[in-house]
Structure 1
């Protein structure tokens, strides 16, 4: 079974010596856990400046750029099928502004975040956002908009299941990763209630355990076709759809 981890950090992290601090170490970890591919965000982009990220030339580790809107942000939206946003860490709001403009990631005005989301929606860019990077009001705002990109909420955790269920029930563009859905039958509950097509395998490594989600994937009480969708099929499908959105 092909397995794609959509939620992984490559590079050194504060206060810990992790095996995935370089591509060789990351590949060894993926081999150990029988993970075929990992969408990696570089730790420099998470904890430092997204513009200083070293290049990663590795087919097995497709790099996910971190995008920051505004005049001091990362500039034009990169032609990537997947991006990641850190609103709290990089001090910007996704907002609900209705200003006009060219929608570029480097535009001016205080509705930069709203314009960025509209552009991501037009391109159907897969957009990863950690649950804790948004406050409750921000999460509700994302669920109310139209023309949104496919959003994957990462690290939702068991304490957020009630709010997550409300959001997913109201908004078809929302997806969730498995990194912290580690309670008894939590992945099954989400898949059965909202569809396995909205669940993607993710570990959150090295900030959270990777062996647990990988073990859980092999023991899900779901039809084999649904497990395959969660393991890699949904990630592959969203990337293909992002490519078609770009072509438009």
Structure 2
């Protein structure tokens, strides 16, 4: 079973000393938890200037660490990206997810078949609904949703077929199984949110899911590889 963490940070944190402050330390953490590869956002892009953080992703190991740039729309934002995965951070960088520039960016990303990571705390459920409604072909993975969001999250996933969710905070009893059963395992992706959130818990959960081997393999890494064009497209 290939395991891909689609929600990982690389770089120093402003409030803690972490092993993943550099690529070597992060690779050691992946080895410790038997994670084959990770999609990484640089902490400087999340907490500072996205342009500096995106440039720092050159430190990532192209074999196991896939750089995920943070994009900011509009003339004062970042330049475009030709990577298959990007992250949008409207809350952190103070731009409207449903503004004209954001919708234009979303349309361009949808046409390029780019996957977007979007943190649950970075926008309201209503904003996510309007954004996904305006660009229905855009593939969005909502990360860090947590148990308090399940009603809103279920409504969004009912309404938008291209919305998926990561497992980083789906820690309640059989929550991952519920989402896989209702929406299909192809719309659930393994992610940890580490080092901001725990990585050992989601990794252990992956080994104990009450799902078929095929569905577990999709969640563990098959879906991530499919979004990169490296696996079958069911």
Aligned counterpart, 1:139: 128
Partner residue in 2 for 1:103: none
1:165 and 2:154 matched: yes
- The 3 A distance-change label for structure 1 pair 12 and 214 is same
Structure 1 range deviating more: 124-133 or 57-66: 57-66
Q: Give 1:68 deviation, angstroms.
A: 0.5
Asked if the contact 1:33–1:214 (Cα under 8 Å) also holds between the matched residues in 2, the reply is yes
Runs (4+) of structure 1 exceeding 4 A deviation are none
Which residue in the other structure is 1:178 paired with?
167
- Within-5 A mapping of 1:38-117: 38-53=38-53, 54=56, 55-58=58-61, 59-75=63-79, 77-95=80-98, 111-117=100-106
Q: Which runs of 5+ in 2 are unaligned?
A: none
Contact 2:103 / 2:134 at 8 angstroms: preserved in 1? no
- Per the TM alignment, residue 146 of structure 1 is displaced from its structure 2 partner at its CA by 4.1
Structure 1 residue ranges without an equivalent (≥5): 97-110
Give the Cα–Cα distance (whole angstroms) in 2 for the partners of residues 140 and 126 of structure 1.
17
Structure 2 distance, partners of 1:208, 1:185, is 19
Q: Which residue of 1 aligns with 2:21?
A: 21
> CA RMSD of the aligned region, Å?
1.4
- TM-score, with length taken from structure 2: 0.94
**How many residue pairs are counted as aligned between the two chains?**
227
